[in-house]
Structure 1
Amino acid sequence: MQLQYKFNKNDEYYTPSYAVYPIMEKIPKGSVIWCPFDKESSNFVKVFKENGFNVIYGHIETGEDFFNTEIPECDYIISNPPYSLKNEVFEKLYEIGKPFAMLISFQGIFDTKKRFEMFKNNKVEMLWLHPRVSYIKADEFSKKDIYSMSSVPFQSGYLCSGILDNTLEFKEIDKKRC
């Protein structure tokens, strides 16, 4: 796939640390995790490293285009992908063939025929998070904002393949856990 993505202003929302813990609990300690849409300051990178995981990360701003980079040796691929490219991201993840978990909006996840067919024909699992995740806008990234942001108008969770025990699982999140 020859696709080079550029930033869409709606793609750069950061994940609060409390939203990383639910998926971290599903991954064996010591695993190698590739976070292909993350920088060193990402909460995915920080939380996984602080909890004994080996993390490889990359981001388009640091010259690593998920669609045109060599796939590193890893056990799992976990991140918060660009919203505007979710079809392309999931196609590439299934092509790679490694277990993955992507934190996404569940709103309209199956609303296109292409996505419906892709998920129907591949192993798909959902980790439904409650309450809603409050993402951090790129221009509001500070510790204070993690606590002051209001909830978004959509439900989020992890769309996974090869990670969960069940097709659909539910997890209460603790928004004070940082």
Structure 2
Amino acid sequence: AHAHAQVRGVLDAVHAAAQRGHWCLGHVRYEAAAAFDAALQTHAADGPLAWFAVHDGPLPWPEEDTGQGPTHAAWLEWQDSLDRADFDAALARIQQAIAAGELYQVNYTAPLRGRLQGGADALFAALQRAQPGGYAAHIDTGAQQILSVSPELFFDWQDAPGGGAILARPMKGTAPRGA
């Protein structure tokens, strides 16, 4: 989906494929927000608003990769886009807002830019070795590659007769209730 009007159609098609037993994976960009609420405004997306692949079943996980040898070398040369003074000023505003009771929690992020040296598959293998387990994905859309080794399961929707269930495993911010 490259336009907001196409996003729901893509999600409906993916949902229908999943209900038929297919394995579906992909992503919906934050910039697709207006597809769900026109009042939400974002900057222009640098790729499709929604992209999914549909498969008959999962592929076997690749053999263990030791990351050795020249074909397995991958690294990133990072460039910070935020200088220290701007970072300190933003943190001070956040702390003031929390102290004033305007905010409870903020996940403050800043973009990093990097240049990949080597292949995305080798980088994914290195990330996987550094953070094993969790919920990893390497999505190759042809135009872009998305690599994630998140420890967090956002959600797993299990459709069942008479009702469904959603399983979520957040990485932080929640804990079982105590006595």
TM above 0.5, yes or no, is: no
Structure with a larger share of its residues in strand: 2
Is the radius of gyration larger for structure 1 or structure 2? Answer: 2
Scaled by the length of structure 2, the TM-score of the pair is 0.24
Greater relative contact order (CA < 8 Å, ≥ 6 in sequence): 1
Scaled by the length of structure 1, the TM-score of the pair is 0.24
